[in-house]
Chains A and B, each alone.
Chain A
Amino acid sequence: MKNFENLFAAWMIVWVVFFIYEISIARRMARLREDIESLKRQMRER
C-alpha cells in the first residue's frame, strides 16, 4: 500500500480531533455540575 503514512495520519486526525473536543466538553460539564451542586448547597444553607 503506497502512501500509507498519510492515510493513517488522516484517519488519526479525524479521531483525535473529535476525541479531544468531546473530552473537553465532558470535562467542562463535570466542572459545571460540581459548581451547580456547590451553589445549590450554599443557597440551602442560608
Chain B
Amino acid sequence: MKARYASTIAVAVLIFFAGYAALFIAPDEKTMHAIQRIFYFHLPSWIAMFTALSVVFVANIAYLATRRSKWDSLGVSAAELAVVCCTIGLATGPLWAKPVWGIWWTWDARLTTTFILWLLYISYLLLRGLLDDPEKKAVFSAVFGIFAFLDAPLVYVSNRLWRTQHPQPVILGGNNSGLDPMIGKVLLLCVIAVMGLMILVLLDRYRLEQLRQEFDELRLEQEALALEPSSIGRERS
C-alpha cells in the first residue's frame, strides 16, 4: 500500500511543520502571549469537525438512497471522527479560556451549540450500539443523523437569539488579531495539517468498518455451510 505510506508520511511532515510554525514562527500576540497559540490547534479541530459532520450527512442521505453498506461505513467513521475532533476542541478551549478570560466555560451561542452537537453525535453512536440488526442499525442511524444535522443550524440560531436577549458579561472577541499576515499563513498550514490527519484516520476507520463487514459476511457463509452437510447427509440416508 504505497499510497498509504506516502500519505501517512506526508501528513506527519505537515504536522511537524505546522506544529513548529505554530509554536515558533507565528508572531507573539500582544496581550495573551504564548497561550494564544492554542488557537492554532483549536480552530482547525473545529473546521475538521464540521467537515466530518458534513460527510456524515452526505453519507446518511446516500445510504438511504442507495442502501449500499459502504455509505453506512463512511457515516459511522465520520461520526466517530467528528466526536474526536469535537472532544479535542472542547478540551483545548477551556485550557485557553481559563488564563485569558478567567473562566473555564461560558454558555455563549457557539460553545453551547458545539456542546449540544457533541452530545447529539455521541447519541448517534450510542444508538448504533443499541441496535443489533445491521440493516436496522444503518437505516435508523441514518434517519437520526439527518435529523441531527438539520437541527444543528436551529440550535445555533436559537442560542444566538437567546444570547442577544441575555447578553454575556464577557465580550467574546474573535480570535483573529487580524493584521499580521503571518498569523493567517500559519493558521492555514495548521488547518491543512489537522484536516490531513483527520482524513487519514477517517480512511483507517472506514477500512476497519469494511473489514468488520467482510468478517460478518464470512461468518454467515460459514454458518450456512455448517448447516448444509448435515442436511444433505440426512436426505441421502
Contact = CB atoms under 8 A, between A and B. Distances in A.
B221 A17 contact: no
Interface in B81-95: 84, 87-88, 91-92, 95
Main secondary structure of the interface of B (DSSP, over half): helix
A36 to B, nearest CB: 5
Contact of B204 (A11, A14, A25): A25
Interface size bucket, B side? 35 or more
Given A10-B42, A10-B92, A17 B84 contact: yes
B88 A28 contact: no
Contacts of A29: 204, 207-208, 211
Contacts of B119: none
A6 to B, nearest CB: 5
B174 interface: no
B88 A21 contact: no
A35 B34 CA distance: 49
Nearest to A26: B204
Contacts of A26: 204
Which of the listed residues A1, A11, A40 has the most CB atoms from chain B within 10 Å of its own CB?
A: A11
B212 interface: yes
B204 A7 contact: no
Interface of A: 1-4, 6-7, 9-11, 13-14, 17-18, 21-22, 25-26, 28-29, 32-33, 35-36, 39-40, 42-43, 46
Interface of B: 19, 23, 33-35, 37-38, 41-42, 45, 80, 84, 87-88, 91-92, 95-96, 98-99, 194, 197, 201, 204-205, 207-208, 211-212, 214-215, 218-219, 221-222, 225-226, 229
